[in-house]
Structure 1
Amino acid sequence: MSAYDLIALIGGLALFLFGMNVMGNALEKRAGSSLKNILGRLTSNKFKGFLLGLGITAVIQSSSATTVMVVGFVNSGLMKLSQAIGVIMGANLGTSVTSWILSLTGVQGDSFVVNLFKPTTFTPIIAFIGILIYMFSKNTKKKDTATVLLGFAVLMFGMEAMSDAVKPLAESEAFQKSLTLFSNPILGVVMGMVVTAVVQSSSASVGILQALSMTGSVTYMTAIPIIMGQNIGTCVSALISSMGATKNAKRAAFVHLYFNVIATVILLPVFYLVEHFADIPIIQTAANPLGIAVVHTVFKLLALAILMPLTNLLEKLACLTVKDNGKNEGVSHLLDERLLNTPAVAVEQSRTVSLSMAQVTLHTLKNAFDMLEHFDGKIAETVREGEAEADMYEDTIGGYLVKLSMRSLTDEDSREVSKQLHVIGDLERISDHALNILEAAEELKDKKMTFSGEAKNEMRTMINATIEVADLAISSLTENNVEKAALVEPLEQVIDDLKTTLKNNHIERLRKKGCTIEQGFVFNDLVTNIERISDHCSNIAVCVIETAHDRFDMHEYLNSIKNGSEVFNRNYESFREKYAINE
Structure 2
Amino acid sequence: MVKKTLIISILLIIAYFVISEDNIKIILSGIAIFLIGMHFMEDGFKLFSGGTLEKILEKFTSTNARALTTGFITTSIVQSSSLISVIVISFLSVELISLAKGIAIIFGANLGSTTTAWIVSSFGLNLKISIYAMPMIIFGVIFRFSKNSTYVGLGNILLGLGFIFLGISYMKEGFDTLKDSIDLAAYSVGGYLGIFIYILIGAIATVVIQSSSATMAIIITALAGANILYIDALALAIGANVGTTVTAVIGSLTSNENGKRLAFAHFVFNIFTGLLAVVLIYTLRDLVEFLSPMLGIAADNYTMKLALFHTLFNLLGIIVLYPFISKIVTLAEKLISDKYKKSSKPLYLAQANIKIPYNAMVSIQKETIRLYDNAQKAILHALSVHTSQLNTKEDIAKVVNQNSKIDTNLDDIYQKELKSLYSDIIEYALISQQNMNQEQSKYVTDLKIISNLIIKTLKDTRDIQKNVNFYLNSKNEYIKEEYRFIKEELVTFIFEVNELKKDFESDSETDELEVSTQIQVDKERLQKLDVIHNGRIDSLIKDEKITSKMATSIINDTSTAYTICTNLLNIANVMFIRDKNLRELGELDEVK
TM-score of Structure 1 vs Structure 2, range by shorter chain? 0.7 to 0.9
- Structure 2: 5+ residue stretches without partners: 1-16, 293-298, 386-398, 505-509
Partners of 1:72 and 1:336 within 8 A in 2: yes
Q: CA deviation at 1:300?
A: 1.4
Q: Using the alignment, how far apart are the partners of 2:102 and 2:148 within structure 1?
A: 35
| CA distance in 2: counterparts of 1:279 and 1:20, whole angstroms | 31
Q: Which residue of 2 aligns with 1:536?
A: 567
- The residue correspondences of 1:29-428 to structure 2 (distance < 5 A) are 29-31=47-49, 32-33=51-52, 35-36=54-55, 38-43=57-62, 45-104=63-122, 106-108=124-126, 118-135=128-145, 139-173=148-182, 175-178=184-187, 184-243=194-253, 246-272=256-282, 289-315=303-329, 318=332, 322=335, 324=337, 328=340, 332-362=346-376, 364-365=378-379, 368-369=382-383, 374=401, 379-381=406-408, 390-391=418-419, 393-406=421-434, 408-428=435-455
C-alpha separation between the residues in 2 aligned to 1:558 and 1:524? 21
Residues 131-150 of structure 1, C-alpha deviations (whole Å, 9 max, x = no match): 455546x6543442333222
Q: Amino acid of the residue matched to residue 532 of structure 1? A: T
Contact 1:183 1:221 in 2 (8 A): no
Does the CA contact (< 8 Å) of 2:54 and 2:87 recur in 1?
no
Structure 2 distance, partners of 1:168, 1:183, is 29
Residues 422 and 472 (structure 1 numbering): CA distance in 2 closer, same or farther, change over 3 Å? farther
- C-alpha displacement of 1:156: 1.6
Query: Could you say what secondary structure the match of 2:280 adopts?
Result: helix
Whole-angstrom CA distance in 2 between matches of 1:204 and 1:348 = 32
Task: Tell me the distance in 2 between the aligned counterparts of 1:15 and 1:419.
Answer: 42
Q: Secondary structure of 2:278's match? A: helix
Query: 1:75 Cα shift?
Result: 4.2
* Partner secondary structure for residue 97 of structure 2: coil
Task: Give 1:62 deviation, angstroms.
Answer: 2.1
- Alignment size in residue pairs: 536
Deviation at 1:48, TM superposition (A): 1.8
- Distance of aligned partners of 1:35 and 1:499 in 2 relative to their CA distance in 1, 3 Å threshold: farther
Q: Give yes or no for contact 2:530–2:558 (8 Å, CA) kept in 1.
A: no
Q: Which residue of 2 aligns with 1:576?
A: none
Higher relative contact order (CA 8 A, sep 6+): 1
Asked whether the equivalents of residues 375 and 441 of structure 1 are also in contact (C-alpha less than 8 Å), the reply is: no
> 8 Å contact 1:219–1:286 — kept in the other structure?
no
- After TM superposition, the structure 1 stretch with the greater mean CA deviation from structure 2, 151-160 or 434-443, is 434-443
- AA of the residue aligned to 2:130: T
Q: How large is the RMSD of aligned CA atoms in angstroms?
A: 4.6
> Once the 2 structures are TM-superposed, how far is the Cα of residue 200 of structure 1 from its aligned partner?
1.8
Give CA-to-partner distance per residue, 1:203-236, whole Å, 9 cap, x none: 1211222233343212212111111011011011
1:441 aligns with 2:474: no
TM-score (norm. length: structure 1): 0.75
Closer/same/farther in 2, CA of residues 201 and 19 from structure 1, 3 Å limit = same
1:571 maps to none
CA separation of 1:11 and 1:450: change in aligned 2, threshold 3 A: farther
Q: Is the 8 Å Cα contact of residues 468 and 487 (structure 2) preserved in structure 1?
A: no
CA contact (8 A) 2:24 2:178 kept: no
- Alpha-carbon shift at residue 511 of structure 1 (Å): 12
Q: Distance in 2 between matches of 1:24 and 1:9?
A: 23
Please give the per-residue CA displacement for 1:411-444, whole angstroms capped at 9, x wherever unaligned: 3222221111111111121122223332333455
1:27 counterpart (45, 51, 58): 45
Q: Distance in 1 between matches of 2:249 and 2:185?
A: 34
1:438 aligned counterpart, secondary structure: helix
Q: How far is 1:22 from its partner?
A: 1.6
Aligned residue for 2:228, secondary structure, equals coil
Structure 1 stretches lacking a partner, 5+ long: 109-116, 562-583
**Shift in CA distance, 360/33, structure 1 to aligned 2, threshold 3 Å:** farther
SS of the residue aligned with 2:347?
A: helix
Alpha-carbon distance between aligned partners in 1 of 2:362 and 2:560, rounded to the nearest angstrom: 32
1:515 corresponds to which of 537, 541, 547: 547
Q: Contact 1:126–1:149 (CA<8 Å) still a contact in 2? A: yes
Amino acid at match of 1:169: L
Q: Deviations over 1:172-210 (max 9, x none)?
A: 236444565998112111111111112222112112222
CA distance in 1 between partners of 2:373 and 2:281 (Å): 58
Instruction: Render the CA deviation track for 1:378-421: whole Å, top value 9, x for unaligned.
Output: 54549789766554542443343234224x22332222211111
Q: Does the 8 Å contact 1:36/1:348 carry over to 2?
A: no
Counterpart of 2:366, as a letter, is: T
User: What TM-score comes out, normalization by structure 2 length?
Assistant: 0.74
Identity of aligned residues (%): 20
**How many Å separate the matches in 2 of 1:450 and 1:5?**
96
* Cα distance between partner residues in 1 of 2:100 and 2:523: 49
2:436 counterpart SS class: coil
Q: 1:503 to 1:144 in 2, by over 3 A?
A: farther
1:506-533 per-residue CA deviation (whole Å, 9 max, x = no partner) reads 9x9499694264x566545523532432
Match of 1:334, SS? coil
Kindly indicate whether the alpha-carbon contact (under 8 Å) linking 2:474 and 2:480 is maintained by their aligned counterparts in 1: no
